[in-house]
Amino acid sequence: MTLFDVLALGLILLTTLVAMMRGLVGEIASLLCWVVAFVGAKLLAAPVADMAFTTMQPRALAVSLSYVMVFGVLWIIQRLMRTVITSALKSIGLGGVNRMLGACFGAIKGIIIVTLVVLICSFTDLPKSPVWRDSFTAGMFERLAMVAVPYLPSFLADKLNSPSV
Protein backbone atom coordinates (compact mmCIF):
# COMPACT_ATOMS: atom_id res chain seq x y z
CA MET A 1 0.00 0.00 0.00
CA THR A 2 1.57 3.25 -1.16
CA LEU A 3 1.02 6.87 -0.22
CA PHE A 4 -1.36 7.19 -3.18
CA ASP A 5 -3.55 4.42 -1.75
CA VAL A 6 -3.57 5.96 1.72
CA LEU A 7 -4.47 9.42 0.39
CA ALA A 8 -7.16 8.11 -1.99
CA LEU A 9 -8.81 5.87 0.59
CA GLY A 10 -8.46 8.58 3.25
CA LEU A 11 -10.25 11.10 1.03
CA ILE A 12 -13.03 8.64 0.25
CA LEU A 13 -13.40 7.81 3.95
CA LEU A 14 -13.46 11.50 4.88
CA THR A 15 -16.14 12.38 2.33
CA THR A 16 -18.15 9.35 3.42
CA LEU A 17 -18.02 10.33 7.10
CA VAL A 18 -18.85 13.97 6.44
CA ALA A 19 -21.76 13.00 4.18
CA MET A 20 -22.99 10.50 6.75
CA MET A 21 -23.07 13.21 9.40
CA ARG A 22 -24.91 15.60 7.08
CA GLY A 23 -27.24 13.05 5.49
CA LEU A 24 -28.31 12.69 1.87
CA VAL A 25 -30.70 15.62 2.04
CA GLY A 26 -27.99 17.81 3.53
CA GLU A 27 -25.47 16.77 0.88
CA ILE A 28 -27.79 17.33 -2.06
CA ALA A 29 -29.08 20.58 -0.58
CA SER A 30 -25.51 21.75 -0.05
CA LEU A 31 -24.61 21.00 -3.66
CA LEU A 32 -27.73 22.75 -4.92
CA CYS A 33 -27.10 25.64 -2.53
CA TRP A 34 -23.78 26.46 -4.21
CA VAL A 35 -25.16 26.06 -7.73
CA VAL A 36 -28.26 28.18 -7.08
CA ALA A 37 -26.23 30.85 -5.27
CA PHE A 38 -23.72 31.13 -8.13
CA VAL A 39 -26.35 31.14 -10.88
CA GLY A 40 -28.69 33.45 -8.96
CA ALA A 41 -25.89 35.89 -8.20
CA LYS A 42 -24.83 35.90 -11.85
CA LEU A 43 -28.38 36.59 -13.02
CA LEU A 44 -29.31 39.12 -10.34
CA ALA A 45 -26.06 41.03 -9.76
CA ALA A 46 -26.62 43.64 -12.49
CA PRO A 47 -30.29 44.37 -11.63
CA VAL A 48 -29.44 44.65 -7.92
CA ALA A 49 -26.54 46.96 -8.75
CA ASP A 50 -28.90 49.14 -10.80
CA MET A 51 -31.36 49.36 -7.88
CA ALA A 52 -29.06 49.52 -4.86
CA PHE A 53 -25.86 51.15 -6.09
CA THR A 54 -27.01 53.67 -8.69
CA THR A 55 -24.34 56.25 -7.88
CA MET A 56 -21.40 53.91 -7.25
CA GLN A 57 -18.58 54.25 -9.76
CA PRO A 58 -17.08 52.32 -11.45
CA ARG A 59 -20.04 50.17 -12.38
CA ALA A 60 -17.94 46.99 -12.20
CA LEU A 61 -17.46 47.63 -8.48
CA ALA A 62 -21.21 48.00 -7.97
CA VAL A 63 -21.92 44.79 -9.88
CA SER A 64 -19.19 42.94 -7.96
CA LEU A 65 -20.56 44.10 -4.63
CA SER A 66 -24.07 43.13 -5.72
CA TYR A 67 -22.82 39.69 -6.78
CA VAL A 68 -21.32 39.08 -3.34
CA MET A 69 -24.46 40.31 -1.58
CA VAL A 70 -26.89 38.26 -3.69
CA PHE A 71 -24.69 35.19 -3.39
CA GLY A 72 -24.57 35.54 0.40
CA VAL A 73 -28.31 36.09 0.78
CA LEU A 74 -29.21 33.14 -1.47
CA TRP A 75 -26.70 30.90 0.29
CA ILE A 76 -28.05 31.78 3.76
CA ILE A 77 -31.69 31.26 2.70
CA GLN A 78 -30.91 27.86 1.25
CA ARG A 79 -28.85 26.89 4.28
CA LEU A 80 -31.83 27.66 6.51
CA MET A 81 -34.12 25.64 4.23
CA ARG A 82 -31.68 22.70 4.42
CA THR A 83 -31.73 22.84 8.21
CA VAL A 84 -35.53 22.86 8.31
CA ILE A 85 -35.84 19.92 5.90
CA THR A 86 -33.19 17.87 7.73
CA SER A 87 -34.89 18.54 11.07
CA ALA A 88 -38.25 17.50 9.62
CA LEU A 89 -36.78 14.22 8.37
CA LYS A 90 -35.23 13.56 11.75
CA SER A 91 -38.50 14.28 13.56
CA ILE A 92 -40.48 11.80 11.45
CA GLY A 93 -37.93 9.06 12.05
CA LEU A 94 -36.04 9.08 8.76
CA GLY A 95 -32.80 10.47 10.19
CA GLY A 96 -31.02 7.10 10.08
CA VAL A 97 -32.04 6.42 6.49
CA ASN A 98 -30.99 9.94 5.54
CA ARG A 99 -27.56 9.39 7.12
CA MET A 100 -27.04 5.98 5.52
CA LEU A 101 -27.94 7.28 2.06
CA GLY A 102 -25.71 10.28 2.76
CA ALA A 103 -22.79 7.93 3.45
CA CYS A 104 -23.37 6.22 0.08
CA PHE A 105 -23.52 9.61 -1.64
CA GLY A 106 -20.32 10.67 0.14
CA ALA A 107 -18.47 7.54 -0.96
CA ILE A 108 -19.50 8.15 -4.57
CA LYS A 109 -18.47 11.80 -4.26
CA GLY A 110 -15.08 10.76 -2.87
CA ILE A 111 -14.52 8.30 -5.71
CA ILE A 112 -15.37 11.02 -8.24
CA ILE A 113 -12.98 13.48 -6.57
CA VAL A 114 -10.10 10.97 -6.57
CA THR A 115 -10.86 10.09 -10.20
CA LEU A 116 -10.71 13.78 -11.18
CA VAL A 117 -7.41 14.17 -9.30
CA VAL A 118 -6.05 11.13 -11.19
CA LEU A 119 -7.21 12.68 -14.46
CA ILE A 120 -5.48 15.97 -13.60
CA CYS A 121 -2.32 14.13 -12.51
CA SER A 122 -2.25 12.30 -15.84
CA PHE A 123 -1.16 15.59 -17.43
CA THR A 124 2.05 15.32 -15.39
CA ASP A 125 4.75 12.68 -15.00
CA LEU A 126 3.35 11.56 -11.65
CA PRO A 127 1.76 8.37 -13.06
CA LYS A 128 5.27 7.19 -14.00
CA SER A 129 6.50 7.42 -10.39
CA PRO A 130 7.01 4.28 -8.28
CA VAL A 131 4.45 5.45 -5.72
CA TRP A 132 1.83 5.51 -8.46
CA ARG A 133 2.91 2.35 -10.32
CA ASP A 134 3.08 0.24 -7.12
CA SER A 135 -0.32 1.43 -5.93
CA PHE A 136 -3.19 -1.04 -5.55
CA THR A 137 -5.89 1.50 -6.39
CA ALA A 138 -4.29 3.72 -9.05
CA GLY A 139 -5.24 1.35 -11.87
CA MET A 140 -8.88 1.36 -10.84
CA PHE A 141 -9.00 5.16 -10.74
CA GLU A 142 -7.16 5.37 -14.08
CA ARG A 143 -9.84 3.15 -15.65
CA LEU A 144 -12.52 5.41 -14.19
CA ALA A 145 -10.68 8.47 -15.52
CA MET A 146 -10.63 6.89 -19.00
CA VAL A 147 -14.41 7.29 -19.01
CA ALA A 148 -13.98 11.08 -18.87
CA VAL A 149 -11.32 11.33 -21.58
CA PRO A 150 -13.76 11.31 -24.55
CA TYR A 151 -15.47 14.35 -23.02
CA LEU A 152 -12.23 16.35 -22.83
CA PRO A 153 -11.41 18.83 -25.58
CA SER A 154 -8.98 17.29 -28.08
CA PHE A 155 -6.18 19.72 -27.20
CA LEU A 156 -6.30 18.43 -23.60
CA ALA A 157 -6.74 14.76 -24.44
CA ASP A 158 -3.61 14.90 -26.62
CA LYS A 159 -1.51 16.11 -23.68
CA LEU A 160 -2.19 13.14 -21.39
CA ASN A 161 1.08 11.61 -20.19
CA SER A 162 -0.31 8.45 -18.65
CA PRO A 163 -0.59 5.59 -21.13
CA SER A 164 -3.60 4.09 -19.38
CA VAL A 165 -5.63 7.29 -19.15
pLDDT digits (tens, 9 = 90+) for 21-79: 999 998 998 889 889 999 999 999 999 998 988 888 888 898 999 999 999 999 999 98
| Range with the poorest average pLDDT among 4-8, 21-25, 141-145, 154-158 | 154-158
pTM over 0.85: no
Residue 30 resides in a domain: yes
- Domain membership of residue 162 (yes or no) is no
User: Is 21 a member of any domain?
Assistant: yes
Q: With 0-12 CB in 10 A as exposed, 13-18 as middle and 19+ as buried, what is 58?
A: exposed
In this structure, is residue 58 part of a structural domain?
yes
pLDDT at 163 over 70: no
The answer to whether position 132 is within a domain reads yes
Q: Which structural domain range is residue 71 located in?
A: 3-157
127-139 confidence digits (pLDDT tens): 888 989 899 999 9
Distance in angstroms (rounded) separating the CA atoms of residues 115 and 70: 33
- Strand (E) or helix (H) holding 11: helix 3-52
Residue 28 maps to a domain: yes
Structural domain contains residue 25: yes
User: Cα separation of 121 and 119, whole Å?
Assistant: 5
Residues 6 or more apart whose CB falls under 8 angstroms from that of 2 comprise 131, 132, 134, 135, 136
* Number of domains composing the chain: 1
